[in-house]
Amino acid sequence: MRATIIGAGVAGPVLGLFLRRLGVDVTIYEARTPERLALAGAFLAVAPNGMNVLEAAGVKARVMAAGDACHGFEFVNASGRTIARVDDRDDAQRYGSPLLVVRRTRLQRVLVDAALEAGVEVRHGAALVDVEPYDREVRATFESGEAVTSDFLVGCDGIRSQTRALVLPESPAPASLEQLDYGGFARLAEAPVEVGCNLMVFGRRAFFGAFRAADGELLWFHNGPKREDSLSERERLLEAHADDPPWINEVISRTPELLGPWPLHDIASIPRWSMGRIAVIGDAAHAVSPTSGQGASLAMEDAMMLARCLEATGDPERAFERLAQRRRARVEEVVRQSRRIGSTKVARTAFGAWLRDRMLPLVLPLGTAAQRRLYSYRVEVADPRAGG
């Protein structure tokens, strides 16, 4: 059996690893060159449920070596006062893996290298322009004019999926969350961020998050509303955090290169994930905002579940249908949760900020319980061979 995968980000290489175990010949086509791919994003979190997928794929140790384990979260208001904490030091014992913070480029490099070693072919600079059923195969045509056929095709090409646009045109467009995301890497020893801690700051006009790696480096991000003005990107960020703890603007000032902006979008639901022998998974099927910390992990779960469904059925069409049946409720609930959390990041009034600061310690246990349900999910338990 031959498979074409569109996209070499996160879901594509992980799917390739699992398909190779089934003896499938796999080729991944990525529109971006390796140089452009290396510029995609800043860093991300791989939650315990995602790390457990990587363990099943045989690459957990290599990914762990590329990032840093997170032991907890601290939530701070615009005055610098701690309003809540979450201790995650027992995540590895509780779920089998910790939450890992890793540069996106490092994660992607590890996954692609592992896929190559497993016998997956990866071709860069191959932009998809057409895909269509061809007898009991699928024909994909690329910008270069090259056309290839395979037994099935899976779009792992992200929120702006070309596969989805070509095959599932009735799908809704990604919904704007009316916020911009920036990120960067800096060195500031005096910043009050513990090693292994995610420090989240509810600022006056924007949200700021920082994580300190074991080598002392700060990985940070900013979420804030879109603005139209004549300021430079750095000046805009500095102004947004002018009334927040001073160390934030010091971090921004010491960042050699600002990454972004990336407009934040999500996809709550699409009517179908597949058409015949063509399917989409990961962000192409159910994009979630970075607020959830689950985007990469959900994509990995999709990849593992799809391979298990194919193993159980032996038929791509049935496997795609079974995948959507077993995954839709989980991923769409995560999108809804993320929207609810994202709406609290920036208070619109002083009273709203005052109320949020006092309510957060009370509602945090509910959020922690929801997080634990996400972390404890195992693809092995959601057996694709049952029913359908």
If residue 220 lies in a helix (H) or strand (E), which one and from where to where?
strand 218-225
- Measured CA distances, 1 to 16, 51, 95 (Å): 13, 28, 35
Which SS3 state, helix, strand or coil, does residue 111 take? Answer: helix
In the chain, the amino acid numbered 264 is L
pLDDT for residue 387: 47
pLDDT for residue 96: 94
Does residue 363 register a pLDDT over 70? no
- Measured CA distances, 323 to 200, 311, 313 (Å): 35, 12, 11
Cβ atoms 49, 375 nearer than 8 A: yes
Does residue 320 register a pLDDT over 70? yes
Q: 388: pLDDT confidence band, cut at 50, 70 and 90?
A: very low
Cβ atoms 330, 377 nearer than 8 A: yes
Q: 381: pLDDT confidence band, cut at 50, 70 and 90?
A: low
> How far is it, in rounded angstroms, from Cα 341 to Cα 53?
25
- Write down the CATH superfamily of domain 2-69+98-174+266-346: FAD/NAD(P)-binding domain (3.50.50.60)
Q: How many helices (H) does the chain have, and how many strands (E)?
A: 13, 19
In the chain, the amino acid numbered 56 is A
Q: What is the pLDDT of residues 301-319, one digit of tens each?
A: 999 999 999 999 999 999 9
Which SS3 state, helix, strand or coil, does residue 147 take? Answer: strand
For the residues of 262-288, what is the DSSP string, one character each? EEEEE----S-SEETTEEE-THHHH--
pLDDT for residue 135: 81
Average pLDDT for residues 353-376, to the nearest whole number?
Answer: 75
Does residue 386 register a pLDDT over 80? no
> How far is it, in rounded angstroms, from Cα 157 to Cα 268?
17
pLDDT for residue 224: 92
Whole-model pTM: value is 0.93
pLDDT for residue 83: 87
Average pLDDT for residues 209-223, to the nearest whole number?
Answer: 97
Average pLDDT along the chain: 91
> How far is it, in rounded angstroms, from Cα 176 to Cα 239?
23
Q: 335 or 366, which is more confident? A: 335
Cβ atoms 184, 217 nearer than 8 A: no
Q: Which tokens hold the place of 357?
A: 């600061």
Percentage, residues of the chain above pLDDT 90: 76
pLDDT for residue 384: 58
> How far is it, in rounded angstroms, from Cα 98 to Cα 81?
27
Cβ atoms 126, 31 nearer than 8 A: yes
Q: What is the pLDDT of residues 131-142, one digit of tens each?
A: 998 888 999 999
pLDDT for residue 98: 95
pLDDT for residue 355: 75
With residues binned 3-state (H G I as helix, E B as strand, rest as coil), the percentages for the chain, rounded to 5, are 40, 25, 35
Q: What is the pLDDT of residues 11-65, one digit of tens each?
A: 999 999 999 999 999 999 999 988 787 677 799 999 999 999 999 999 999 999 9
Instruction: Indicate the domain borders of the chain.
Output: 2-69+98-174+266-346
> How far is it, in rounded angstroms, from Cα 103 to Cα 221?
12
Q: What is the pLDDT of residues 267-297, one digit of tens each?
A: 999 999 999 999 999 999 999 988 888 999 9
